[in-house]
């Protein structure tokens, strides 16, 4: 919300400086984003007098001017303005000045062979209006040689960030009200106008959609003369970031910016029949003032006549019924629209406007008649004309809201002691009505909420109003109470697990990535299998963020592609986050997971290593096993099985399971089809660990690690070589061997996989190193033979035969 200081002072009698006003706005919760100083923008521009004007020797439409700047000899300036003439006083931009409208830095130059020392300026070039037909003409008594910024008057522009809960401050008057309540000045009351019509309104106005448009008022003004707005109005609109258009349009914008009350003016000659607020018909279209056509539906409210739709109600008017220079008769419309309907329509059409920003926040339903009266008076002042009687259709929801408020609540909730009489003064200065409660409400007030404060709903809201105006800086800082002794840990087991796994992944050389929880539809579809469908957003940030991610892998693959495209040779990425699934009954099911993507070169080429080596499925498996072990999963008991999913390369992927159904992780190489879909060249290894599937430790609440006690006796190592079927997974053999004698076997590890001479066809030789740990006494030969027999017997159950 931008406004000039002079505009604010129209409603606020104050001697405060711009710095004091800005400080107070920040103190009461209206954050000042910036202050624009016009003296900086107009630096280098001077009031100057044209002494002579002669035709350019080489251009019919140019003149060569001799200009008095008030200092030294006159300057020669080439000018193309039709109104440039000897004796006039205008504004000269000297070499070195920057033109505000386009950022052009003026300098001495030759135009068609004639030297020019600057530029005579128009109002548009100095951003003081829209007139560009000629240069600025100042009064004859304008002091030649004076800096134009000084002559024009320095009127700073304040830019305030208005939060969505403060619709009352979407107008300059509302900001002035807050400042007056905070002691900056005295608020000027809004004049109560009574403008009876001179004739009955010739247009029928009604509302056929009382839900979307409860109140719809209008009146006709005949005999207006449209044209440019006066300079004071153009300057105020320009300061607010609005482009002046014409007196009629500027008047409606002025009412909106001054009082937060949008309105609209129709060219009466372009209307046909009754003007009605109604629901749109499915498929109806309207060409809006932004020159774009919008397709409407039944959930939207429109303003229409017998010919069709003229206005997307509360958001934007139509192109074909707007006012132009030829307009002589107008219909003024001022209405109250349902905030939710306006917000929904704006989101559907992806259409924003100043009017929508005010209507969807909530405007004052009590300001319909007075808003229309003030707009009528302004238009008659600017354009003349005769007004009809007001036609009213429906009624705005003006039932007052009453909040029961105990002044003692301010100290309880706000932490500051404020006298009741001061609280009453603050509330009343903000427009609230305060009266003592009747019997039965001891020390309580009945506070009537004004119509321009739809955000105030209860007593805590009133505490907020009192405290912010009194001064948030006056609230004493008080430390929170803390019990003596050592503080109890606050991290949950899940948070501790996330920290541990994140540190472990980083320690293994992986780089953490943080990607969006939203994905494009196509990329999400590749990882949606078996997840019960995707969660699609009804109002996404963009089409590339339309679906909640069912897996962490697509986001990591997209990140990998961006890095590979920018020349990264080796990528080791991981991300810890949630994937979003559909639970039973369509409920949201969020699950913690960890994704790993390995792309590019595992080792670079070199004189010792030879060619570069790419990542493979075993690298992804190694990362998954290491991180699962760090997360507390029994890595030595996990089974390697297939069915990693269609996103993985068959034969080069698998799952890690604890039992046949509990999948803890999946790993492998990216399927070529998926790689093509993500536009990734080269092999990519990836893994996804489901942290929510890791079983918790029994008695975890009282779990304490026992002290380390190394065994007294040295471990014994024995090697076993088995002939097994060629399709038997080595992990299965390792698992059964390790479980053959749990009391003595500490670990089993595969160290050789041989297929060749001496091994029968259809078989392979797997060699395992088995570590045995004696406990109370050293092993004897009989003990070792008994253990070896158990190992052989266990392996035989898988079809393994001890190799001779």
pLDDT at 708 over 80: no
pLDDT at 702 over 50: no
Residues of the chain with CATH 2.40.50.140: 40-152
- Taking only the tens place, the pLDDT of each residue in 461-508 is 999 999 999 998 888 888 888 778 877 788 888 899 999 999 999 999
pLDDT band at 231 (very low <50, low <70, confident <90, very high): confident
- Taking only the tens place, the pLDDT of each residue in 426-439 is 999 999 999 987 65
Answer left, alpha or beta for residue 308, where phi above 0 means left and psi between -120 and 50 means alpha.
Answer: left
Instruction: Please state the separation of Cα 754 from the chain's center in Å.
Output: 60
d(Cα 9, Cα 20) in Å, to the nearest integer? 14
Residues of the chain with CATH 3.30.56.10: 2-37+156-187, 419-474
Instruction: Please state the separation of Cα 188 from the chain's center in Å.
Output: 37
- Taking only the tens place, the pLDDT of each residue in 114-172 is 999 999 999 888 887 777 789 999 998 899 999 998 888 778 999 999 999 999 999 99
d(Cα 246, Cα 230) in Å, to the nearest integer? 10
Domain with residues 419-474, CATH architecture: 2-Layer Sandwich (3.30)
Rounded average pLDDT over 516-537: 82
Share of the chain above pLDDT 90, in %: 71
386, 198 in Cβ contact below 8 A?
yes
Report the 10 Å Cβ neighbour count for 213: 27
Structural Rg of the chain based on CA atoms = 40
Report the 10 Å Cβ neighbour count for 650: 12
Contacts of 509 (CB under 8 A, 6+ apart): 572
d(Cα 116, Cα 112) in Å, to the nearest integer? 10
Rounded average pLDDT over 693-702: 67
804, 734 in Cβ contact below 8 A?
no
Topology of the domain covering 2-37+156-187:
Phenylalanyl-tRNA Synthetase; Chain B, domain 1 (3.30.56)
Query: Of all helices (H) and strands (E), which one includes residue 694?
Result: none
Q: Which residue has the higher pLDDT, 701 or 204?
A: 204
- In a 10 Å sphere around its CB, with 0-12 CB exposed, 13-18 middle and 19+ buried, how is residue 146 labelled? middle
- Taking only the tens place, the pLDDT of each residue in 287-297 is 999 889 999 99
260, 370 in Cβ contact below 8 A?
no
pLDDT score of 586: 64
In whole numbers, what is the pLDDT of the chain averaged over residues? 91
* Residues written for the chain: 804
Q: Is residue 465 part of an annotated ligand binding site? A: yes
d(Cα 146, Cα 117) in Å, to the nearest integer? 18
| Helix ranges (DSSP H) in 196-317 | 231-239, 247-259
Report the 10 Å Cβ neighbour count for 96: 12
d(Cα 367, Cα 140) in Å, to the nearest integer? 44
| Helix ranges (DSSP H) in 61-195 | 148-152, 172-181
Residues of the chain with CATH 3.50.40.10: 205-394
d(Cα 559, Cα 523) in Å, to the nearest integer? 12
Residues of the chain with CATH 3.30.930.10: 493-696
pLDDT at 648 over 70: yes
181, 466 in Cβ contact below 8 A?
no
3-state SS string for 290-301: CCCEEECCCCCE
- Taking only the tens place, the pLDDT of each residue in 169-182 is 999 999 999 999 99
- Taking only the tens place, the pLDDT of each residue in 376-385 is 999 999 999 9
Residues of the chain with CATH 3.30.70.380: 712-802
Long-range residue pairs from 737-742, CB within 8 A, at least 24 positions apart, any chain:
737/768, 737/770, 737/791, 737/794, 737/795, 738/636, 738/770, 739/794, 740/787, 740/790, 740/791, 740/793, 740/794, 740/795, 741/787, 741/790, 741/791
For 205-394, CATH number out of 3.30.1340.30, 3.40.50.10860, 3.50.40.10, 3.30.365.10 equals 3.50.40.10
Is 198 strand, coil or helix? Answer: coil
493-696 CATH:
3.30.930.10
Rounded average pLDDT over 260-273: 94
Contacts of 409 (CB under 8 A, 6+ apart): 459, 460, 463
Locate 458 and state its tokens. 């209860």
Topology of the domain covering 712-802:
Alpha-Beta Plaits (3.30.70)
Full DSSP string of 38-82 = HHHHTTTEEEEEEEEEEE-TT-TT-EEEEEE-SSSSPEEEEE--T
For 40-152, CATH number out of 2.30.40.10, 3.40.50.170, 1.10.3720.10, 2.40.50.140 equals 2.40.50.140
> CA distances (Å), 400 to each of 240, 405, 453, 466, in order?
32, 15, 11, 20
- In a 10 Å sphere around its CB, with 0-12 CB exposed, 13-18 middle and 19+ buried, how is residue 306 labelled? exposed
Q: Is residue 461 part of an annotated ligand binding site? A: yes
Q: Which of 13-17, 65-69, 657-661 has the lowest mean pLDDT?
A: 657-661
């Amino acid at each position: 919300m931008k406004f000039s200081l002079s505009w604010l002072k129209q409603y606020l009698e104050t001697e405060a400086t711009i710095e004091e006003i800005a400080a107070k706005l920040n103190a009461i919760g209206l954050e000042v984003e910036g202050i624009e100083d016009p003296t900086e923008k107009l630096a280098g521009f001077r009031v100057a007098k044209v002494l002579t004007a002669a035709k350019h020797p080489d251009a019919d439409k140019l003149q060569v001017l001799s200009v008095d700047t008030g200092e030294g000899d006159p300057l020669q300036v080439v000018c193309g303005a039709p109104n440039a003439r000897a004796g006039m006083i205008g504004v000269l931009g000297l070499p070195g000045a920057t033109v505000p409208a386009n950022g052009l830095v003026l300098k001495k130059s030759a135009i068609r062979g004639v030297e020019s020392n600057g530029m005579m300026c128009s109002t548009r070039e100095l951003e003081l209006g829209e007139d560009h037909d000629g240069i600025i003409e100042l009064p004859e008594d304008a002091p030649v040689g004076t800096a134009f910024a000084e002559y024009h008057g320095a009127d700073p522009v304040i830019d305030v960030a208005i939060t969505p809960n403060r619709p009352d401050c979407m107008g300059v008057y509302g900001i002035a009200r807050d400042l007056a309540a905070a002691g900056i000045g005295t608020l000027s009351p809004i004049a109560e106008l009574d403008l009876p019509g001179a004739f009955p309104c010739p247009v029928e106005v009604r509302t056929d959609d009382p839900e979307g448009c409860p109140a719809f008022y209008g009146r006709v003004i005949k005999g207006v003369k449209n044209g440019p707005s006066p300079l004071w109005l153009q300057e105020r609109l320009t300061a607010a970031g609005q482009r002046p258009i014409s007196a009629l349009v500027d008047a409606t914008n002025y009412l909106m910016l001054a009082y937060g009350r949008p309105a609209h003016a129709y060219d009466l000659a372009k209307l046909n029949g009754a003007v009605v607020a109604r629901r749109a018909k499915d498929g109806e279209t309207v060409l809006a003032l932004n020159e774009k056509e919008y397709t409407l539906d039944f959930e939207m409210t429109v303003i229409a006549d017998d010919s069709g739709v003229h206005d997307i109600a509360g958001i934007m008017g139509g192109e074909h019924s707007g006012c132009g220079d030829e307009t002589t008769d107008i219909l003024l419309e001022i209405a109250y629209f349902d905030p939710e309907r306006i917000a929904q329509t704006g989101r559907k059409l992806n259409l924003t406007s100043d009017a929508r920003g005010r209507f969807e926040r909530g405007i004052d339903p009590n300001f319909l008649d007075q808003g229309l009266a003030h707009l009528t008076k302004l238009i008659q002042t600017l354009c003349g004309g005769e007004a009809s009687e007001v036609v009213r259709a429906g009624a705005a929801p003006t039932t007052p809201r009453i909040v029961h408020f105990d002044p003692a609540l301010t100290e309880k909730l706000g932490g500051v002691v404020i006298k009741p009489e001061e609280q009453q003064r603050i509330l009343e200065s903000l427009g609230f009505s305060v009266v003592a409660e009747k019997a039965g409400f001891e020390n309580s007030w009945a506070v009537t909420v004004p119509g321009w404060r739809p955000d105030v709903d209860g007593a805590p809201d009133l505490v907020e109003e009192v405290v912010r105006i009194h001064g948030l800086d006056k609230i004493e800082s008080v430390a929170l109470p803390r019990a003596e002794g050592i503080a109890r840990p606050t991290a949950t087991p899940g948070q501790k697990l996330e920290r541990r796994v994140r540190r472990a992944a980083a320690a293994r050389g992986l780089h953490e990535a943080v990607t969006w929880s939203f994905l494009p539809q196509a990329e999400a579809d590749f990882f949606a299998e078996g997840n019960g469908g995707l969660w699609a957003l009804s109002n996404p940030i963009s089409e590339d963020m339309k679906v909640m991610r069912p897996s962490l892998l697509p986001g990591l693959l997209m990140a990998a592609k961006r890095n590979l495209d920018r020349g990264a040779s080796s990528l080791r990425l991981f991300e810890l986050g949630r994937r979003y699934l559909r639970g039973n009954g369509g409920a949201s099911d969020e699950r913690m997971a960890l994704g790993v993507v390995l792309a590019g070169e595992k080792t670079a080429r070199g004189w010792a290593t030879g060619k570069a080596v790419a990542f493979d499925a075993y690298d992804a498996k190694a990362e998954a096993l290491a991180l699962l072990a760090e997360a507390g999963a029994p890595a030595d008991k996990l089974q390697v099985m297939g069915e990693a999913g269609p996103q993985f390369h068959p034969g080069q992927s698998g799952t890690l399971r604890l039992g046949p159904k509990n999948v803890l992780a999946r790993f492998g190489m990216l399927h070529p089809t998926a790689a093509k879909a993500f536009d990734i060249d080269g092999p990519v290894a990836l893994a996804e660990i489901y942290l929510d599937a890791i079983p918790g430790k029994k008695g975890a609440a009282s779990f304490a690690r026992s002290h380390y006690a190394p065994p007294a006796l040295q471990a014994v190592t024995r090697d076993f070589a088995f002939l097994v079927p060629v399709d038997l997974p080595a992990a299965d053999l390792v698992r059964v061997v390790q479980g053959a004698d749990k009391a003595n076997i500490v670990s089993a590890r595969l160290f050789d996989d041989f297929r060749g001479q001496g091994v029968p066809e259809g078989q392979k030789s797997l060699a395992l190193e088995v570590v045995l740990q004696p406990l109370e006494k050293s092993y004897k030969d009989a003990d070792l033979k008994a253990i070896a027999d158990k190992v052989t017997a266990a392996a035989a159950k898988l079809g393994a035969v001890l190799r001779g």
